[in-house]
Amino acid sequence: MQDNSPRSFAERPVVAPATTQDALQAAPHLATAPPAGSDRRVVDAIREIVGPRGIVDGASARKVYECDGYTLEKSVPRLVVLPATTEETSRVVSVLAGAGIPFVPRGAGTGVSGGCLPLQSAVMIGTSRLRRIRSIDVEARTAEVEAGVVNLEVSRAVDAHGLYYAPDPSSQSACSIGGNVAENSGGPHTLKYGVTVNHVLALEVVLPDGRVIWLDREYDAPGYDLVGIFTGSEGTLGLVTAARVRLMRKPESVTTLLAVFPGVAQASRAVSAIIAAGIIPAALEMMDALVIEAVEAAYHFGFPAGAGAVLLIELDGIAAGLDALAARVHDCCTREGASEVKRAAGEEERALLWKSRKRAFGAMGRLAPAYCTQDGVVPRSRLPEIVAKIAEVASRYHLRIANLMHAGDGNIHPLVLYDEDVPGEVERVLAAGNEILTACIELGGSITGEHGIGIEKMALMPKSFTAPTLAAMEDIRTAFNPRGLCNPGKILPSSRTCVEVRRPRPRGGG
C-alpha cells in the first residue's frame, strides 16, 4: 500500500489480488484474445487514424489496462487505442463498428466496479489524450473540457476567477471528467451541491456507430433529458469526448468541525439530528474506530485515543450566520453524546482534517493485507440500523469491517478487511458484502451510491428493480447501442450481450 498515493481509497481499493492466472482459470471468457493478429487490417486502419502514439499493442503494455480499481476480475484488452481528438475517436469507433468489434471506453481507470473491464475481447478506447480545456466562460460560469481532463484540473484552471467544479470524488487528483460523467461520480461535497449530473450542461459523445453528437440541455433545451440518462450510464451508451460543465462560485466562508463520539450509533444519530434540524452541511462524513486507528497509525492527526467514531462536518455559505449554524451543529452532536467537538482554527487545520478523510483509504493497509470496499445507500434515518447490521455481519463472518461514510447522504462505504492467504476468506468477504447490500435494499436504499454497477453488482440488479423496470433500462441501452458493441456485459444481467462472470477462486481457497 502506498501511503503517498494521490489516489485515495474510494476509487482505488486494493483488493486481494487473486493472480491473473487464477482469474483466467476460473473465468475462461476473460482470456486474452490474441492481440488482434487476426484483425490486422482493423489494427492498420486504426493506426492510420491515431498514429503510433495512439496505439498500445505490446503484451506487457496492454497489461496495465487489465482492470480498474475493481481487481477481482481482470482481462487484458486485445488492443488499447488512445485517440487524441474527438474526430480520431469517432473514426476509430466507426472502424470497429464496421468490423463488428466491441469496444470499451476507459477514463483514468479509477473506477471501482469493473466498469471498464474489457469483456468479449473488446478493444479499449482510452481518453487519456483528450486533455484540452477547450474554453472557459467566466461570466456564464461554464467550461468546456475534454473527457481526459482530470477533475481537479478543472477547478485549478478557474480558481483565479473564484470558481470551482463542485463534484469532488476522493480520486479527484487522478480521475477524469469523462469517467466522472460515465459513473455520475459523487464525493464528500455532494450532500449540498449534488453529483456530476447536476453539474453537466451538455455532452459531446461518440455514439456506438461512430457518429459524433452533442447532447445538450443548456438554455432549457426541449426534448428528453439525454444528458441525464447518459450521465451514469457507465460507458454503455457511447463514449464521452467532452463535457460542458457548470462552475460554482466559491462560498464566501467555510468552517469545518470534528465531533468525536463513543461509537457509530451515537454518531449516526447525530447525523439524523443535524439533517432533521434543517441544516444541510456542505459535507457530513463519518469514520469509525477502525478507520481512525488506521489514519492515526499512518498520519498521527491527533484524534483522541479510543474514539468510537468521528464526524467531519463542513458548513459553508455567507459568513453571517455561519457561527450560529456551527453552534447548532455543535449542540446536535453534544446532545447525541459527542465527547468533544472541535472547530478547525484555520485553513491549515481544515486542510489537515480533510487530508485525514481523503487519505483514509490509503491508510487501511496498516490494518490488513487487503480490503474490499462496498458502496451502498440507506435513507439517512436508517443509518443506525445499517451500522448495527454491518457490525452483526462482521461478527457472524468473523471479519473486521471498517466504516467510512458520506453519512449525510446515507452513503456507506464498509471496508471489509481480509487476508487472501486465509483459506475461504475471500468468499466470506463477498458474502458479507452481499448481505450488507441486500440489507440496504431492504431498508429502502440502493446497492450503489457512487461506484456504479459495472460487473461487480450486476447480480444484485434484479433485487433492486422489477422486471419491467430492467426491461425499460434495456430499451435505453438498445436505443443508443443497438448492436451492443459498446461496453458489452455491464450493468444489466439480462443483456443478450452479457456473459456470465464468475468469481475467481481466491488463492489457496477451497
Give the contact letters, 394-413, x = binds to another protein (CB under 8 A), - = no. Answer: ------------x--xxx--
Cell numbers for 418, please give them: 481480509
Please tell me what DSSP assigns to residue 459.
G
The interface region with another protein, picked from 284-292, 317-325, 356-364, 366-374 by CB under 8 A, is 317-325
Contact at 8 Å (CB) between 151 and 200?
Answer: no
The SS3 of residue 260 is strand
Q: Least CB distance from residue 104 to another protein, whole Å?
A: 18
Interatomic CA distance for residues 465 and 477, integer angstroms: 16
The count of chain residues that interact with another protein, using the rule CB under 8 A, is: 86
Among 2, 21, 38, 478, binds another protein (CB under 8 A): 478
Interatomic CA distance for residues 180 and 195, integer angstroms: 9
Angstrom distances, CA of residue 282 to CA of 165, 255, 286, 346, 359:
14, 10, 14, 17, 19
- Phi-psi label, residue 386: left if phi above 0, alpha if psi -120 to 50, beta otherwise: alpha
**Bridge partners of 403?**
414
Among 28, 52, 100, 222, binds another protein (CB under 8 A): 222
Positions 19 through 78 that interact with another protein (CB under 8 A): none
Residue 249 sits in the site that holds another protein (CB under 8 A): yes
Among 379, 384, 508, 509, binds another protein (CB under 8 A): 379
Interatomic CA distance for residues 289 and 36, integer angstroms: 50
The interface region with another protein, picked from 271-279, 284-292, 364-372, 498-506 by CB under 8 A, is 271-279
Contact at 8 Å (CB) between 231 and 238?
Answer: no
Positions 349 through 378 that interact with another protein (CB under 8 A): 377-378
Beta carbon nearer to another protein, 449 or 504: 449
The interface region with another protein, picked from 81-89, 290-298, 426-434, 462-470 by CB under 8 A, is 462-470
Residue 228 sits in the site that holds another protein (CB under 8 A): yes
Positions 155 through 194 that interact with another protein (CB under 8 A): 162, 183-184, 186, 190, 194
Cell numbers for 104, please give them: 470499451
Residue 327 sits in the site that holds another protein (CB under 8 A): no
Q: Least CB distance from residue 317 to another protein, whole Å?
A: 5
Q: Least CB distance from residue 107 to another protein, whole Å?
A: 15
Interatomic CA distance for residues 113 and 449, integer angstroms: 12
Q: Least CB distance from residue 244 to another protein, whole Å?
A: 12
**Main-chain dihedrals φ then ψ at residue 305, nearest 5 degrees:** -65, 140
Residue 470 sits in the site that holds another protein (CB under 8 A): yes
Among 306, 469, 483, 494, binds another protein (CB under 8 A): 469
Q: How far apart are the first and last CA of the chain?
A: 27
